[in-house]
Structure 1
Amino acid sequence: MRPAWSMIFFTTLAGAAQGLMLGLVALDAAVALGLLPAPKGPLFVTGAVVVLVLGAAGLVAATFHLGRPKRAWRAASQWRTSWLSREVIVLPAFLATTLAWGVAQWQGGTTFWLGLLAALLALALYLCTGMIYAAVGVIREWASPLTPLNFTLLGLASGLTLGAALVAFHAPALLPWAAGAAAVATVLGAITRGASTWRNATLAPRSTVQSALGIRHPRIVQSSQGTLGGSFGTREFSHGAAPDLLPRLRWGVAVAAFVLPVIVLATQGGRLPGVLLAALALLQWAGLLGERWLFFAEGRHPQNLYYQRMG
């Protein structure tokens, strides 16, 4: 499939926002239970602002995927059957609850129930976003429980790494805990994404050129599409990149999104300054942009049996 950059930016930005909010709520609960010391700086208020900024940036990116942005409100009308409609409903609810939680933190009020609701909405949003693609049965690379699981763990990893940077600025005493949580989430994300990559590489195709055409000849090659240029099929259902790009990009994603962050967080994360941790979060996000591009590019639509090359 052709990767849509609007969706790549939306899913990575919103995923990081959800992961950061889950980390903030977990930290708030640990402080309330006396398991960790209370941060002295405005960590929770600053974190809520960052979540809202990331979520708003994701929404702006998503609008570029709409053919008619003025009719975006209609996307919520099919909530009974559409995961996209559910996502459209849950995302604003998540941002509104995060705003209320941040205001309550700023005013020193009770935040437990608001934090719990925000955490549940963040998890529900991961599920909705992942199921938009996992429910597309015709694209077998997406139609797997690993899809929503990867969306959740990778968003959690990037959000917690960003959270470690905020902790370094506002509550250095909590940094070993924050860095350790980010490292664990990144490792889990690497495991599930690796499992998804292995599954996609070993999928046996249900259809071949021979079965699609009803011809049993062992070698059938499309020499021309029969037109003078590209078509909707070649533009929308194929990434169009050189065949050797995907393996190289996979290695780059592995290093930037998983290997380097885990090494740094596990060995130096507890004592790095906030600026360097913020740079690490930015590097990991760049790697996850490549990971999400690969996710879309790995999806193989059956119609590509007929449009393998333009000729």
Structure 2
Amino acid sequence: MHPAFSVIFLTTLIGAGQGLFLAMVTGQIYATAGFLPAQESRFQAVGSLLALLLLVAGLAASFFHLGRPERAWRAAAMWRTSWLSREVIVLPIVMVLVFAYGAAHWLGWTRPLFQVGRSLPVDVTLLLALLGTLASLALFLCTAMIYAGVRFLQEWQTPLTVSNFILLGAASGFMLAAAYSAWVGNPLVTFFGTWAVILTLAGLASRMAHLSRNALITHRSTTQTAIGIRHAVVAQKTQGATGGSFNTREFFHGRSIQAIDRVRIVFLVLVFALPILLIGLAYVTGSSSLPILAFATQFFGLLAERWSFFAEARHPQNLYYQSVA
């Protein structure tokens, strides 16, 4: 498939935004349960604002992929059968809940409404955190199923696509939370950084399993099945046209196998190896800049990872358009 940069930025930005929100919620839950020191409401509010900005930026990026942006609202009409429509509906819900969560902290609505057990006071922010978490997980699912639900793209049709989106998005969000904590001098750098490393390692396991699976795929569609000839050796010499077309632009990336392999190596280093190394060095040196560098490195790596994800998919129509005369 042809990797559209608007979709690449959409998925990586909203993934980081959802992950950052989940990090803020996780920190609050740990603090409420007494496992971490209580944080200032301003810290939660600004973190939520940053998550909201990422979600808005991702939404804005998606408009560059639309032929008629003024008709974007119609994408929600097929919510009964389309994961894209469900994403279009759930994304604004997540944005509203993230905004409400941050606003509640900013306004100091932290007086307990009731208490669960003996040690868990529940206030407005905690209720919004629960709703926002459920909505964020639903958004991860909707975004991933847009691709995992495409049956004829065998590279995508696997539960590993869903786990990759969730784990990599959460990892980038927790890494951003560590960077944000380092920037403002908050002591939760170690907490968020440790979770970021755990999620990054889990994402590595999921992505490597995905790559291994895709390397062993036996495609249902071949040149032989495309043209109805069973001969063992069939080579296409021309696509029957002398120039490019919509099919060659939108369903094929136009890069060599060697280029795809290089991108794969780049994202494996930038998404997994370097951020973990930088966070480890930050623990040892006490540096406040290394967590920020770790997030920046991982995010750029995720752009390459998402490009590779789209480029990996072999659309069956390319059996007719492999080469230009």
Structure-2-length-normalised TM-score: 0.92
Moved more, 86-95 or 37-46: 37-46
Query: Match for residue 13 of structure 2?
Result: 13
The 2-side partners of 1:70 and 1:274 are apart by 44
Query: Helix, strand or coil for the counterpart of 2:93?
Result: helix
Moved more, 141-150 or 265-274: 265-274
- Pair 1:91 & 2:91 matched: yes
Alignment of 1:276-291 (within 5 A): 276-291=290-305
- Pair 1:256 & 2:270 matched: yes
Structure-1-length-normalised TM-score: 0.96
Query: Match for residue 25 of structure 2?
Result: 25
CA apart distance, 1:123:
0.5
Aligned pair partner of 1:209 in 223, 228, 239? 223
Query: Helix, strand or coil for the counterpart of 2:322?
Result: coil
Query: Helix, strand or coil for the counterpart of 1:142?
Result: coil
Alignment of 1:96-107 (within 5 A): 96-107=96-107
The 2-side partners of 1:44 and 1:265 are apart by 22
CA apart distance, 1:278:
1.7
Query: Match for residue 67 of structure 1?
Result: 67
The 2-side partners of 1:80 and 1:212 are apart by 32
Aligned pair partner of 1:134 in 144, 148, 166? 148
Query: Match for residue 304 of structure 1?
Result: 318
Query: Helix, strand or coil for the counterpart of 1:173?
Result: coil
The 2-side partners of 1:33 and 1:92 are apart by 30
Query: Match for residue 119 of structure 2?
Result: none
The CA deviation string for residues 87-128 of structure 1, in whole angstroms up to 9 with x for no partner, is 111111101111111011011113110011111111100000
User: Which runs of 5 or more residues in structure 2 are unaligned?
Assistant: 110-123
The 2-side partners of 1:182 and 1:193 are apart by 16
The CA deviation string for residues 234-275 of structure 1, in whole angstroms up to 9 with x for no partner, is 111111012210111111101111001112223434754443
The 1-side partners of 2:286 and 2:51 are apart by 22
Superposed CA RMSD in Å reads 1.4
Query: Match for residue 125 of structure 1?
Result: 139
Q: Is the 8 A contact 2:101 2:128 kept in 1?
A: yes
The CA deviation string for residues 19-59 of structure 1, in whole angstroms up to 9 with x for no partner, is 01001001111111111001347221110110111011101
Query: Match for residue 80 of structure 1?
Result: 80
Query: Match for residue 293 of structure 1?
Result: 307
Q: Is the 8 A contact 1:168 1:272 kept in 2?
A: no
AA partner of residue 286 (structure 1): F
Q: Is the 8 A contact 1:17 1:50 kept in 2?
A: yes
Going from structure 1 to structure 2, the CA distance change for 1:41 and 1:116 (only over 3 Å counts) comes to closer
The 1-side partners of 2:275 and 2:105 are apart by 30
CA apart distance, 1:219:
2.0
Going from structure 1 to structure 2, the CA distance change for 1:186 and 1:76 (only over 3 Å counts) comes to same
- Pair 1:242 & 2:256 matched: yes
AA partner of residue 243 (structure 1): I
The 2-side partners of 1:207 and 1:131 are apart by 22
AA partner of residue 235 (structure 1): R
- The count of aligned residue pairs is 311
Q: Is the 8 A contact 2:18 2:51 kept in 1?
A: yes
